[in-house]
Chain A
Amino acid sequence: MTEEIDASGALEASGLGKKYRRGWALRDVAFRLPAGRICALVGPNGSGKSTLLSLAAGLLTPTTGTLRVFGRPSADPGTRERIAFVAQDKPLYPRFTVADTLRLGRELNPRWDQKTAERVVAEVEVPLSARVGSLSGGQRTCVALAVALGKRADLLLLDEPMSDQDPLRRHRMMGALMAEAAERGTGVVISTHVLAELDGVCDYLLLMGGGRIRLAGEADAIQAAHRLVTGPSGTGGGTPEALARHTVVETRTTGRQLTALIRPDGTTDGEGWIVTEPSLEDVLLGYLRAPDAPPLFTAGARATGTEVEA
């Protein structure tokens, strides 16, 4: 039984949908995130990132489908101990001091680790006696992150944690976060729309758009599945025939030169094209620019739940 639970991964969604009064925020989301991965959750504003994280944190309940956290439904009280969530607006009590806020974490979490939490707070060089309300946005984020790390969860859900940080602190925060994650094998999901801040840090990728998952899987595998090809543009515009047998994500024409992001099907050699391996950012930008490109799931990222196979 426990093996089954572990096999189901940190997060596993099938048929997941969430409808607000204004419409569907998530629709037919199915993916799997193995445990212990550092996952970037990328997508434009309003693509459903925050909704997905809130569902995983058990703050929202799905309208359709299921979202399993370590094999149990996300609303199950037992999952709360295993996840830590930092919401986008970093809710903290403004009249509490930093020390009070850490005390809150200690009072409410049996697995609390005061040392880790204090170390993270020390990163921002904020005295423990400072009131949270007097801190800058970036400092507050660090305090929120300290509470999340002190909880010693197995999965950290961070909703745009770096958006209000200066580059230096962002770098230090990332370093502290990754050190903790590596030490304990903690899984992390970081949502962002700044692609650069996650390059080289994450090994897993979820790209969202319009409430659906568009890319899911190991960062290397996704990168390796794509090629950037450059060649002369055809006369009629549109997709050149030479590329037709591949899955074309996006084409761009600059002058007489055409650049295409493709998922190659078979060889791309000998067709007069210059073929290069794209950076992860190239791939993500390509998908962001082409909202209708077909989604890609690597083998490990497909939901294995029975509901999907049935």
Chain B
Amino acid sequence: MWLVARQHRAALWAGLAVVVAIAAYIVWQRAEMMGYFRAHDRDTYRTPLLNTGRLLIALPALIGVFIGAPLFARELETGTHRLVWTQSVGRTRWLIAKLALPLVAVTAGTAVLAALYTWWWRAARGQFQDIAWGTAVPFDATGPAAVALAPPAFLLGAAAGLLLRRTVPAMVVTLGATAGIQYGLDALRPHLMTPRTVVSEPDASGEFAVTHFQVYFNSWRGMGNGYLSRSGEKIPFDRCASVTGGEDAWQRCLDRLGATRRVYEELHPASHYWPMQWMQAGICLAVAVALAAFCLWWIGRRRA
């Protein structure tokens, strides 16, 4: 344990400095924003809020590439593993120490930043309704999901380093794989829970379906929308989009499908935020456990 701490002393301090810097920035920006909101136009703080979120969602990849990937790859590349592997302490214990200490550090650091960003985001949320809560920023930068992204990214880097034994290829693979995982999670997220369907009735004049602003307040929209048929079937707006012949043809297409003027929209209400956060965190932790198990299995197999 001492060895791992000593070996990565510089990295630990650097990581701590980064966390403190971002944390201080968040606290400062949030305080400034709250003061500003009282008197001015809201949009000034959109850029820092979004950019900080983007920085936070890039953090897992950075952790994997710069902390995870060199962890074992550097040892294997420079041959120093031969120094450690021939001491009395077993390789498995060495591997566990090498994984555990940085893992605790990156998780704690990410947790601090995610908590602060969540705090900022909650204060800002009311002002930026157009930013859906389900997109990468803020979803991957807030709550347990943000924290849970760090361990699999770190372990992915470590496993890549063990397998490839070279630092630079391990970093490249880690970058690609982490980006892939985050992209995959973003694509998967709308399907984690069944969207709620909200139906808007035509207004008194019978001409237009008017949606209630309140319904969409705080919701993650855009899961799908369209007309309801008389029998209650959903007809997405784009069902007739490919019909040529102008508005008349489009109307005929809709009539043929039996569309009424009732409009539905599928969305994830704000109440889906926490279940989805925990689901994504669970997926990430399962991946992390699998990667840690792989590292242990690999080192055990090498000794046999």
Q: Mark A residues whose CB is within 8 Å of B.
A: 54, 57-59, 61, 75, 77, 80-81, 83-85, 87, 89, 91-93, 95-96, 100, 103-105, 107-111, 144, 147, 151
Judge whether B89 and A108 touch: CB under 8 Å: yes
Contact residues of B between 10 and 56, Cβ < 8 Å to A: 10
CA distance A109 to B78 in the complex (A): 22
Contact A91 B3, beta carbon cutoff 8 Å:
no
Q: Taking CB as reference atom, which chain B residue is nearest A76? A: B303
- Find out whether the CB atom of B304 lies under 8 angstroms from the CB atom of A151: no
Give 17 pairs: A residue, B residue, CB < 8 Å, sorted on A.
A57-B86, A58-B85, A58-B86, A81-B88, A84-B86, A91-B80, A95-B10, A104-B83, A105-B87, A107-B1, A107-B2, A107-B89, A108-B84, A108-B89, A111-B88, A144-B83, A151-B88
B7 contacts chain A at the CB level, 8 A cutoff: yes
Q: Which of B75-100 contact A (CB under 8 A)?
A: 78-90
Contact B3 A107 (CB under 8 A): yes
- On whether the beta carbons of A92 and B6 are closer than 8 Å, the reply is no
For B302, the closest partner residue in chain A by CB is A61
- Cα A108 to Cα B86 with chains together (Å): 10
Known: A104-B6, A108-B89. 19 other contacts (CB 8 A): A58-B85, A58-B86, A59-B86, A77-B90, A77-B303, A80-B86, A83-B86, A84-B86, A89-B79, A91-B83, A100-B6, A103-B2, A107-B2, A107-B89, A108-B88, A109-B87, A109-B88, A147-B83, A151-B87
Q: Does more than half of chain B's interface fall in helix, strand or loop, or is it mixed?
A: helix
A108 and B87 contact, Cβ closer than 8 Å, known pairs A87-B79, A91-B82: yes
- Interface residues as binary, B268-304 with A (CB distance below 8 Å gives 1, 0 otherwise): 0000000000000000000000000000000000011
Query: B residues touching A (Cβ–Cβ < 8 Å)?
Result: 1-3, 6-7, 10, 78-90, 303-304
Cβ–Cβ contact B304 & A75, under 8 A: yes
Residue picked from B7, B85, B87, B89, most chain A C-beta under 10 Å: B87
By beta carbon, the residue of chain A nearest B81 is A91
The distance in angstroms between the C-alpha atoms of A80 and B92, with both chains bound, is 13
B87–A93 touching, CB < 8 Å: no
Decide if B87 touches A87 in the complex (CB within 8 Å): no
Residues of B within 8 A of A109 (CB): 87-89
Closest to B6 in A: A100
Chain B residue contacts of A77, Cβ below 8 A? 90, 303
Report the separation of the CA atoms of residues A103 and B1 in the bound assembly, to the nearest whole angstrom: 12
**What separation, in Å, do the CA atoms of A111 and B303 have in the docked complex?**
22
Identify the interface centre among A81, A93, A96, A144: most chain B CB within 10 Å of its CB: A93
- Which of B1, B79, B88 is A91 in contact with, Cβ under 8 Å? B79
Contacts of B80 in A (CB 8 A): 91-93
A88 to B78: give the CA distance in the assembly, Å: 13
> Which residues of the other chain, A, contact B6 by a CB distance below 8 angstroms?
96, 100, 103-104
CB distance from B271 to the nearest CB of A (A): 51
Closest CB of chain A to B97's CB: distance in Å?
10
Q: Complex formed: what's the CA distance from A147 to B87 in Å? A: 9
Instruction: Pick the contact of A93: B1, B7, B85 (CB < 8 A).
Output: B7
In the complex, what residue of chain B is closest to A61 when comparing beta carbons?
B304
When the two chains form the complex, which single residue of A61, A85, A89, A111 contacts B86, counting CB atoms closer than 8 Å?
A: A85
Chain B residues contacting A59 (CB-CB under 8 Å) are 82, 85-86
Q: What is the CB-to-nearest-CB distance from B81 to chain A, in angstroms, rounded to a whole number? A: 8
| B74 CB, min distance to chain A CBs, angstroms | 10
Instruction: Write out the residue numbers on chain B whose beta carbons fall within 8 Å of the beta carbon of A147.
Output: 83
Question: Which residues from chain A contact B2 at a C-beta distance below 8 Å?
Answer: 103, 107
Between B78, B80, B83, B303, the greatest number of chain A beta carbons within 10 A of the residue's beta carbon is seen for B83
> In whole Å, how far is B184's beta carbon from the nearest beta carbon of chain A?
35
In the assembly, what is the distance between CA of A151 and CA of B78, in Å?
A: 22
Q: Which of chain A's residues have a CB closer than 8 A to the CB of B10? A: 95
C-alpha gap A61/B79 in the complex (Å): 17
**CA of A59 to CA of B80 in the docked complex: distance in angstroms?**
12
